[in-house]
Amino acid sequence: MANVTLRNVRKTYPGGFEAIKGVNVDVADGQFCVLVGPSGCGKSTLLRMVAGLETVTGGEIDIGGRIVNQIEPADRDIAMVFQNYALYPHMSVFNNMAYGLRNRGMKEAEVKTRVDEAARVLELTAMLERKPRQLSGGQRQRVAMGRAIVRQPKVFLFDEPLSNLDAKLRIAMRVEIRKLQRRLSTTSIYVTHDQLEAMTLADILVVMNGGRVEQVGNPLAIYEKPATTFVASFIGAPPMNLMSIRSDEIKSQLSGSASEAGILGIRPEDFVITDQTPAGGVALPLTVEAIERVGAETFVYGSRAQDEQRIAATPGELPPGEVIVRIPGTESPAIGAKIRVAVVRNKLHLFSGDGRTRIEA
Amino acid sequence: MVEDEGIRRYVAHAILWIGIAIVAFPVYIAIVASTQDNALIANGQMSLLPGGHFFEVYYQTIFVGTSGSTREPVGNMMLNSLVMALLIAVGKIAISIISAYAIVYFRFPFRMPIFWIIFITLMLPVEVRIYPTYKIVADLHMLDSYAGLALPLIASATATLLFRQFFMTVPDELLEASRIDGAGPLRFFWDTLLPLSRTNMAALFVILFILGWNQYLWPLLITTRDDMQTIQVGIRKMITTTDALTEWPIVMATAVLAMLPPVFVVVVMQKLFVRGLVETEK
């Protein structure tokens, strides 16, 4: 049981590339912390620094009140679950889980008790004598988890543990991991690029981009009040619609400090198709370009009347001027139809022109 | 179409049978000749069917040797060859797996230059560096010894390269998992890398054992005592006799005996070989 504190942690590679540019995170004892961000944002590097697999070139990593910068991975009292599981292919499931315990000189009877207990929890008892190659992806994943829990470490580290599983299994394992962590109440740090995984697992969510922390906090708080346009577009699916406030059409509808903001963000689910404009809210006329019906809900891809520059915070997103609207699955406007969507005042997200600061209206 | 298929199959089989005959016939002749009476062979009246002298010829070959002045039991030659081939094969595997481990997993000064130096020795087989190598072995008083037979042939760039390539395909996470599991460099090598290299080692052993067994020039140079002679050198010496009839049954029996250990190694190791190819352990 331990808290993990990162103080101004930096990582500069010998070539001069700065992967981590000063990160401060505080994970309290028993909390589940998720590091999320696009690939290359440094989240895995940061996790590996906590594990001791990468050297720390600046700042301090504190696990349970002990600065571990110079301590070997084996002595940090952590356990890690790797993306490709990294099971020892030539060892049976039992030996895979027992290896770390035996290396620490634990008595064979105690090893057996612990492995059997972990196997029972993870429903691996029938497979203890099998080799990893005889297991399915989900079973291998559970063995990797088992190898971590038998150690009873202070901290669990997960490096995208579910990304090699198919979609259905991923959801099932996600729930399993959460339940397991709750029961053991072991401090955990979990890296993922999947914002849904991040939202559902985290007690404390750390959104990273380009080696920096964009925002730290409770997942729902981050969803409701993203601090930057990056967080706004990264958290939530489909992503938040971001548009420039330069155009008179939007600017004229905003009042007070709101009209001083540079970028307006509206979540797809906050739109309502209506002819009325709520007081202080914003209304947009759209031409329906495409429709995706997924059953419970319908996504409408509409284009704005004028050629408005949509601010894309992450590349590869919607083309400029396009707006996504989420409506109930029972509704379905015709393609090419002209509709009018509106948002109430307190659902507007306002950011400065560079997208780095949130403005409270 | 069906008929056509049938004809094609017969043609294919016929070609294969011809191939087998070309390879197998000399071996058959050797076996037959080793059971005949020497006088018959010398007369050129050798039968193509096995003769009745199997046990006496092989007994004489293994335990007594030819009746010439440099007689040496082939059993002893086989022992010499076996020790040399095993030392070479095991030594090469041991040294190259350790050096490959150092080169792949450790960062030390001049790592790449050292790797390139090892690589360059590929271009310097024993035949090329035979004089300096002989000088060194002679100066170390290793002539006529197993050490002298095996040591100069043990350093192997090929095996080092092979293990290096294999180690580079082993996922880094396995090393990292070992580190977190509290295994140091030696433990990781012993507990993880060696078991994973098992099939590679078996494949190399087959190749290297046969390579060692077939050595001719080097043993010829550094062994002068008859009791240190290897079987490959021994056969050659049996054939050239100055003042007596070549004892062909014994020569042929020696040739057959010389074939047995490599065949044995291939047959035994083949299972490991194939298993290594079928299993994807990584």
Q: What is the ipTM of this complex?
A: 0.82
Please answer whether residues A309 and A321 qualify as being in contact, where contact means their C-beta atoms are separated by less than 8 angstroms. Answer: yes
Strand partners, A327: A298
Q: 41-70 in A: which are within 8 Å (CB) of B?
A: 51-53
CB within 8 Å: B181 and A100: yes
Mean pLDDT of B98-108: 93
Distance separating alpha carbons of residues A58 and A20, to the nearest angstrom: 9
- Residue B183's closest chain A neighbor by CA? A103
Residue A53 covered by a domain:
yes
Specify whether A72 is located in the same domain as A166. yes
* Final residue before a domain boundary, out of A205, A229, A253: A229
Amino acid at site A275: D
Q: 133-172 in A: which are within 8 Å (CB) of B?
A: 133, 147
Specify whether A100 is located in the same domain as A224. yes
Range in A292-306, B30-44, B58-72, B189-203 with the lowest mean pLDDT:
B58-72
Residue A320 covered by a domain:
yes
Range of the domain at A307: 239-359
Task: Report whether pLDDT(B179) > 50.
Answer: yes
Task: Report whether pLDDT(A312) > 50.
Answer: no
Q: How many CB atoms lie within 10 A of CB B170?
A: 17
Contact list in A for residue B107 (CB cut-off 8 A) is none
- What is the interface size between A and B, counted as CB pairs within 8 Å? 61
* Final residue before a domain boundary, out of A188, A207, A229: A229
Specify whether A327 is located in the same domain as A245. yes
How confident is the prediction for chain B on average, in pLDDT?
A: 87
Mind listing the pLDDT tens digit for each residue in A72-84? 999 999 999 999 9
Q: What is the pLDDT of residue B275?
A: 67
Specify whether A245 is located in the same domain as A223. no
CATH code at A266? 2.40.50.140
The CA–CA distances, whole Å, from A154 to A48, A81, B177 equal 16, 14, 17
Mean pLDDT of B186-212: 91
Range in A193-197, A291-295, B241-245 with the lowest mean pLDDT:
B241-245
Q: What is the pLDDT of residue A159?
A: 94
Distance separating alpha carbons of residues A286 and A282, to the nearest angstrom: 13
Please answer whether residues B219 and B146 qualify as being in contact, where contact means their C-beta atoms are separated by less than 8 angstroms. Answer: no
Selection from A322, A74, A313 nearest residue A210 by Cα:
A313
Q: Which of A82, A90, A99 sits opposite B196 (nearest CB)?
A: A90
Mean pLDDT of B112-116: 91
Provide the CATH topology of domain B74-278. MetI-like fold (1.10.3720)
Specify whether A222 is located in the same domain as A252. no
CA atoms within 13 A on the CB side of B99: 23
Selection from B216, B80, B85 nearest residue B150 by Cα:
B85
CB within 8 Å: B176 and A73: yes
Q: Which of B180, B192, B198 sits opposite A88 (nearest CB)?
A: B192
Q: What is the pLDDT of residue B61?
A: 86
Q: What is the pLDDT of residue B278?
A: 61
DSSP tag of B191: I
Mind listing the pLDDT tens digit for each residue in A247-261? 666 777 776 666 677
Specify whether A201 is located in the same domain as A163. yes
- Residue B172's closest chain A neighbor by CA? A86
Mean pLDDT of A129-133: 93
Residue A234 covered by a domain:
no
Distance separating alpha carbons of residues A111 and A125, to the nearest angstrom: 15
Number of H helices, E strands in chain A: 9, 19
Please answer whether residues A201 and A185 qualify as being in contact, where contact means their C-beta atoms are separated by less than 8 angstroms. Answer: no
pTM: 0.81
Q: 296-355 in A: which are within 8 Å (CB) of B?
A: none
Q: What is the pLDDT of residue A316?
A: 43
* Final residue before a domain boundary, out of A229, A248, A280: A229
β-strands A4-12, A58-63 pairing? antiparallel
Please answer whether residues A258 and A361 qualify as being in contact, where contact means their C-beta atoms are separated by less than 8 angstroms. Answer: yes
Contact list in B for residue A73 (CB cut-off 8 A) is 176, 179-180
Distance separating alpha carbons of residues A358 and A353, to the nearest angstrom: 10
**What kind and span of H or E run contains A10?**
strand A4-12
Q: What is the pLDDT of residue A315?
A: 43
Domain ranges of chain B: 2-63, 74-278
Task: Report whether pLDDT(B279) > 80.
Answer: no
Q: What is the pLDDT of residue B224?
A: 87
Q: What percentage of chain B carries pLDDT values higher than 90?
A: 46
CB-based contact, A100 to chain B, within 8 Å = yes
Q: What is the pLDDT of residue A295?
A: 87
User: Which residues are CB-contacts of A216 (< 8 A; sequence separation ≥ 6)?
Assistant: A25, A204, A205, A206, A207
Specify whether A67 is located in the same domain as A202. yes
Q: Angle at Cα A148 formed by Cα B174 and Cα A3, nearest 5°?
A: 115
pLDDT band for position A357 (cuts 50, 70, 90): confident
Specify whether A37 is located in the same domain as A90. yes
Task: Report whether pLDDT(A115) > 90.
Answer: yes
Contact list in B for residue A74 (CB cut-off 8 A) is 179-183
Range in A269-283, A312-326, B128-142, B197-211 with the lowest mean pLDDT:
A312-326
